[in-house]
Amino acid sequence: MKNLFNIFIFISLIINSSIALEVKVISTSGDVKCRFGVEEQWSDVKSGIILKEIDTILTGKNGQVTLQFSDGTHFKLGANAILDIADLRKVNDQELFLFLMDRKVDKIEKKEEATPLRIGNVSVVHGTSQDTAQLTSQKLELETPERVKNGIIALFDQEFFPNTIMKIHKIKDEGELSQNCGELYFYLGRSFELIDHPGQALEAYQKVIKGNEDAECSQTEWVKQASTGIKRLQEQ
């Protein structure tokens, strides 16, 4: 029986993962760019283009983009956000469970502080005309933690809760989670709560409070919200 269950999960994962995700850009406003696959360059996005799972989309301070899935549903990415199209792939409970289990099994203590970015020596290794300094500065300019956070909030707001959880975990793996006074931990807790995972939600809320104590954040909004969440869960 257990084997059958495992086979079922495996097959469902294969089927799920083998369907390539594509989204159509149906409207843009302001500054919207995309990066195709493994390219270095960012390109301007126009309505009507198709973005694939391997691509990344980014909005400027005044930018906004609406994406359409193959089933006709929409996803809106607000200003100053960055998101991998792969992060929009529908994630079911089983996939989320396996993802979280995988992280538990391979759990390696990551440093909680963000890796400081340093500009090193200039090099040209890609055969392109752009040197690393330019690329690095472009990265610093475009792929800011603020944009990443806004991308996550967009996922949360449009009820992509498993995707929110997975994205936050990926950021957590890179050690970039504690810069926001526990805000992302709050979204993590809330997403877990909304998909009925109270244990993990409680754990995330507690990290919001602990994170604020450690980091001495002046902002207490997330602490309040997390405390409310804990109370709510305890009453259930």
Partner 1 sequence: MVRVNQVKSSFHIVNRYQMNHFHFIRILTILLCISGVVRAQGIARPNSAGIRFGSWSKDLSGFRFFSTGQEGLGASVSTFFYFTTHFINNWYWEFNIGGIGDAVINAETEEVTEITGFVPMVFGLRNDFLFHQSPGRFQPYYSFGLGPYILATETNTYEGTETETALKFGMYGGTGINLNFTSWFAFNVDLKYHFINMSIGSPASGFNLNFGISFMWGKKREIFRIRETRLIVSDIYPSYYYFYNTYPLALVTVQNTAGFPIEVNVRSKVSPFSSRVKESGFIELPEGETKDIPVMAIFESNITEISKREPAVLDIEVEGRAGTIHTEQISAQIMVHSRNAWDGQTEKLSFFVTPDVTEIIQFSRNLVNTIVDSQQIKVKNILYAKSIFNELSAQGLRYQSDPNIPFYQDDRVQFPDETLKMGSGDCDDLTVLYASLLESLGIKTAFVEVRDPEKELAHLYLIFDSGVSEEYKHLVSSNEKRYLIRENHANKTSVWIPVETTLITRGFEEAWKAGALNYLQEAQMKNGLSEGWVQVIDVK
- Residues binding partner 1 (CB under 8 A): 10, 13-14, 17-18, 35, 37-40, 53-54, 86, 98, 102, 115-123, 125-128, 132, 135-136, 138-139
Cβ proximity to partner 1: between 26 and 98 the closer is: 98
Closer residue to partner 1 in complex, CB, 93/102: 102
Q: How far apart are the first and last CA of the chain?
A: 33
Nearer CB in complex with partner 1: 60/78: 60
Nearer to partner 1, 174 or 214 (CB): 174
87: CB partners within 8 A, 6+ apart: 151, 155, 163, 166, 167
Strands 32-35 and 43-44: antiparallel
Backbone phi, psi, residue 43, to 5°: -120, 155
- Please say which residue, 85 or 202, places its beta carbon nearer to partner 1: 85
Tell me how far, at minimum, the Cβ of 160 lies from partner 1, in Å. Answer: 17
Minimal distance, residue 124 CB to partner 1, in Å: 8
Contact 231, 202 (CB under 8 A): no
Give me the least distance between CB of 156 and partner 1, in Å please: 22
Q: Which is nearer to partner 1, 53 or 203 (CB)?
A: 53
With vertex at residue 169, the alpha carbon angle to CA 71 and CA 197, rounded to the nearest 5 degrees, is 75
Contacts of 151 (CB under 8 A, 6+ apart): 77, 81, 82, 83, 87, 167
For the bound state, the minimum distance from the C-beta of residue 51 to partner 1, rounded and expressed in Å, comes to 14
* Nearest-approach distance from CB 89 to partner 1, in angstroms: 8
> CB of 163: closest distance to partner 1 in angstroms?
14
Cβ nearer to partner 1, comparing 40 with 159: 40
Please report how close the Cβ of residue 108 comes to partner 1 at its closest, in angstroms. 8
